Structure 1
Amino acid sequence: MKSLLALKDGFQYRLGDGNSSFSYTNWPGIGNLANQVPYVDIHDLQMRVMDVYVDGKWKFNLLYTTIPENVMDHLKLLHVCLNCQVVDRNTWKGNLNGLYTAKDGYSWHNRSTFTDNATNAITWNWVWHIPAPEKIKFFIWTALHNALPTKTMFSHRGLFQINLCPRCNIEEETTLHCLRNCEFIKCF
C-alpha cells in the first residue's frame, strides 16, 4: 500500500482549459478548496477555474464563498496559463512530457523509497566534475559508494572469513575505518 501512495505522489494536476471544478478539484496543489473553507456556497457549486480566473486575473468577487486570505495569497502566486486546446488532467511529474511509463514509475518508486527518511536524495555526480585525475575521481566515487575492496566487503561476498583490519587488528576493515578511524591511518 505504501508503494501505491508513493506512486500517487508522482502525479500532479495540470490546468489546461480551466474546465475543472474550482472547489472540488485539487488543481492548486494544496487539496480541494472546499476543504480550505467552512462551507461552499450553493451558488459556487458549479464554478469552474475558468469562471474565476478571467483574462489573466483572479475574480474572487464573483464567488459567494468566503475564501481565507492565505488561500487567496497562494492562488495569486500560482502561474496559471489556461489553454482551450488542452484539457485539465493529472500528469506525471517524473518526466517533461507528463506521460507515465512503467520505467518512470519504477524509478519514482525507488527514489521515494530511498528518500523516505531523507529530505533530499544524495547524488555523487559532482565527483566527476572536480578538477582531479580520473583515478582520484574513481577512488572517491568508489569510497562514497562503499565499494572499496575492504575485508568487510570481501567477507560479505563470501571471499574472506575474517574481516579485521590487517593494520590494527582491532576493528572491522570498512571503508570509513580505512580512510578515517584506523589508529594506523590517524598517524598520517
Structure 2
Amino acid sequence: MQMPLIDGGPGFRDLELSNRALLAKQCWRLLKNPNSLAGRILKGCYYKDCNFLEAKKMVNASFVWNSLIWGKGLLEAGLRWSVGDGKSINIYKDKWVPRPSTFRILSPPKLNDQLISSSGGWNTNFIKQNFSDEDVNSILQIPIGCGSRGDNIIWHYNENGQYSVKSGYWLGHKLATTANTSNSSALNTWWNSLWRVKICMKVKIFVWKACQDWIPTKINIDGRGIKTNGICETCNTSYETTLHALWECSKLRKTRDEWYNNNAMTSLS
C-alpha cells in the first residue's frame, strides 16, 4: 500500500517513514540551534562531551532521546559540509563533496595539505596531482568564497541547504527503494502510464488490483483460508484464477466476443 504509483502501488504515505522524517526535523533544529532550551537540556543529559552528530543511543535513555537518535540516522544520510575556509573539514573523513550518497572523496589519502590556497580559492595544481579525475571534477565544481566565511553543515537535498520533512521523506524512501530494487524501467513506465490515463479512478484501481492478483477469485479466497472447490462457476471446467476470471474463461470469452461483434455492427450501420 505504501509503494508509489510508479512502482505499482496506490501511493499512500509510509507513516513510519513520515514519523522518522519529522524526528529528523527536530534533530536539524538541535544541530542548528544548540543553545536552545531543548538543546541545552539534552546536551546536559546525553552528550556532554561531544556534539549532537556524535551522540549515540543509550540503553537507559528516555524514549524521546532514542527516538531522536533514530531520526538522526535519516538526517545524517543527507548532511554534508559546505566549504567556506576549509578549517573545520577533514578532507578524507568528512562528507563535503556534493556527490551522493557518500559525499566523500574516492582517492586514497596521500597528503594532508590544505586544498584551499592562500588567496581563498581552490589549490588546483595540488588537487589535480593528488586526486582522481572524478574527485577533481567534483571538488572544482564546488563554489568557494575568499575565505570570508566558515564551513557550514547543510542539507544536500534542498537548494537552500535547509532540511525539510518533504525532502527527508523522499530520501528515506529512495534509500529503502535502492536497497530493495527489483522493478525494471519498462515496468515503471507501464505503471506510470496507467495512473496517468484519463479513465475513471475505480477502473484504474480495478486494473491495479488485478495486476497485483488481489481480485477475490476462488483461488485467492482459498489462499486466505476460506475453503472453496476452486472451480469457476461460469464454465465449471477450470480453476478460477485472476487470469481465468478476466480472460481465459471460455463462456466469458464467448460473451465478450458477441458483445464486441454487436457493437461493431451497430457502429457500422
- Could you state the TM-score of these two structures normalised by the residue count of structure 2? 0.43
Unaligned runs of 5+ in 2: 1-69, 258-269
Q: Establish whether residue 87 from structure 1 lines up as the match of residue 133 from structure 2.
A: no
Secondary structure of the corresponding residue to residue 15 of structure 1:
strand
Of residues 237, 241, 259, the one that matches 1:169 is 237
| Paired positions, count | 167
* Residue aligning to 2:110: 40
The answer to whether the aligner puts 1:73 opposite 2:141 as a matched pair is: no
* Partner residue of 2:92 out of 6, 14, 23: 23
Unaligned runs of 5+ in 1: none
Give 2:124's aligned residue. Answer: 60
1:13 partnered with 2:79: yes
| Per-residue deviation, residues 69-110 of structure 1 (Å, max 9, x unmatched) | 23213434x5657895873267789xx96367xx959x7499
Separation in 2 of the partners of 1:91 and 1:27? 10
CA distance in 2, matches of 1:186, 1:151: 19
* Letter of the structure 2 residue corresponding to residue 23 of structure 1: Y
Q: Which residue of 154, 160, 163 maps to 1:98? A: 163
Task: Compare CA radii of gyration and give the structure with the larger one.
Answer: 2
Q: Shift in Å at residue 40 of structure 1?
A: 1.7
Which segment drifts farther, 142-151 or 115-124?
115-124
- TM-superposed deviation, 1:130: 1.5
1:125 to 1:159, Cα distance in 2 relative to 1, 3 A:
farther
Instruction: Compute the displacement of 1:168 (Å).
Output: 6.0
Going from structure 1 to structure 2, the CA distance change for 1:139 and 1:31 (only over 3 Å counts) comes to closer
Q: State the distance in 2 between where 1:176 and 1:36 align.
A: 54
The AA in structure 2 aligned to 1:130 is: V
Q: What is the letter of the counterpart of residue 132 of structure 2?
A: P
Q: Does residue 137 of structure 1 match 2:204? A: yes
Classify 1:99/1:85 alpha carbon distance in 2 versus 1 (closer, same or farther; 3 Å): farther
| Cα distance in 2 between the residues matched to 1:131 and 1:161 | 37
Q: Is the 8 A contact 1:11 1:91 kept in 2?
A: no
Q: Retained in 2: the 8 A contact 1:40–1:65?
A: no
Deviation digits for residues 3-50 of structure 1, max 9, x if unmatched? x9xx779813323354422232233245643x513x4214x2xx36xx
